């Protein structure tokens, strides 16, 4: 059974700091890995999707890497801002076209002004 | 596009009552699914559908029914609500053709069963 773990569970940093969120998974037979952002009381917003054949994806200040063989992914956030405060979730996919997601519990990030 | 919409946003039920959580998407996505989110357990897949008329069970299907009569709608039915079904429910959809397409989530329904 696939298990996804995110470390740390919570992180508090001052504004401007670069930071790394970690995600590990137990079964390397995945189609892709997605990073999501969740604001309090809201739904999930997709940030980055990395296909199993890819090593990394970038969007603005965000960079996600994937090492499928070791079962690890990192989300790098550059020059953090208070608006980045949210819970970040990673999910790995299986099933038809990678549709079924297994989620980690998330990292709650607080960026202090 | 409105994306993925869910109604209601909040609901309180008594044990044993039934209700339907509505989910609709206007992106013509073949794949739709329901997750529940509980503290300390992350999001878990309840049911999913790869197209109209086709549904299947996820990790935690007990106590829930689904049907998919149209591409746009994927309602989740609680036949006899139990306190263990207190949770936040999310609906999601995606294009099925490739794993390169991301999933889109609705805003959620917060359900309390007393």
Whether B97 has a pLDDT exceeding 90, the answer reads no
Q: Do A103 and B33 touch (CB under 8 A)?
A: no
pLDDT score at B56:
95
At residue B98 the predicted structure's pLDDT band, cuts being 50, 70 and 90, is: confident
At residue B2 the predicted structure's pLDDT band, cuts being 50, 70 and 90, is: confident
- CB of B9 within 8 Å of a chain A CB? The answer is no
Q: Which residue, A88, A42, A83, is CA-closest to A64?
A: A88
Chain B CB contacts of A88 below 8 Å = none
Q: In the sheet where A56-59 sits, what is the strand order?
A: A4-7, A19-25, A72-77, A62-67, A56-59
Chain A CB contacts of B33 below 8 Å = 99-100
- Work out the average pLDDT over A21-45: 94
Closest CA in chain A for residue B33: A100
- Work out the average pLDDT over B70-99: 94
Closest CA in chain A for residue B32: A99
Whether A96 has a pLDDT exceeding 80, the answer reads no
- CB of B27 within 8 Å of a chain A CB? The answer is no
CA B79, CA B66: separation in Å to the nearest integer?
11
pLDDT score at A94:
83
Per-residue burial over B7-42, b = 16 or more CB atoms within 10 Å of its CB, e = otherwise = eeeebebeeeeebebbbbbeeebbbbbbbbbeeeeb
Q: How far is B11 from chain A (nearest CA, A)?
A: 14
Q: Which of A9-13, A97-101, A108-112 has the lowest average pLDDT?
A: A97-101
My answer on whether omega of the bond before A8 falls inside 30° of 0, hence cis, is: yes
Q: What is the pLDDT of residues B29-38, one digit of tens each?
A: 999 999 999 9
Q: How far is A12 from chain B (nearest CA, A)?
A: 19
Whether B100 has a pLDDT exceeding 80, the answer reads no
CA A25, CA B99: separation in Å to the nearest integer?
18
List residues in chain A touching B: CB distance below 8 A.
4, 31-32, 34, 36, 41-46, 49, 51-52, 89, 91, 93, 96-106
Taking a C-beta distance cutoff of 8 angstroms, is the pair A55, A46 a contact?
A: no
Q: What is the pLDDT of residues B38-76, one digit of tens each?
A: 988 889 999 999 999 999 999 999 999 999 999 999 999
């Amino acid at each position: 059974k696939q298990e996804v773990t995110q470390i740390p569970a919570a992180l508090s940093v001052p504004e401007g700091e670069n930071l790394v969120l970690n995600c590990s998974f137990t079964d390397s037979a995945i189609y892709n890995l997605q990073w999501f952002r969740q604001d309090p009381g809201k739904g999930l917003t997709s940030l980055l999707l990395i296909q199993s054949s890819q090593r990394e994806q970038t969007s603005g200040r965000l960079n996600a890497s994937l090492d499928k063989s070791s079962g690890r992914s990192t989300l790098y956030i550059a020059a953090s801002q208070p608006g980045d405060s949210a819970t970040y979730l990673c999910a790995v996919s299986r099933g038809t076209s990678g549709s079924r997601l297994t989620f980690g519990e998330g990292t709650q990030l607080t960026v202090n002004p | 596009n409105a994306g993925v919409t869910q109604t209601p946003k909040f609901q309180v039920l008594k044990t044993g009552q039934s209700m339907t959580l509505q989910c609709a998407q206007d992106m013509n996505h073949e794949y739709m699914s329901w997750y529940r989110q509980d503290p300390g357990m992350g999001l878990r897949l309840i049911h999913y559908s790869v197209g109209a008329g086709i549904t299947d069970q996820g990790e935690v299907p007990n106590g829930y029914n689904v049907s998919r009569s149209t591409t746009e709608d994927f309602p989740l039915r609680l036949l006899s609500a139990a306190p263990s079904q207190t949770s936040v429910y999310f609906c999601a959809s995606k294009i099925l053709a490739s794993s390169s397409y991301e999933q889109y989530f609705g805003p959620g329904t917060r359900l309390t069963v007393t």
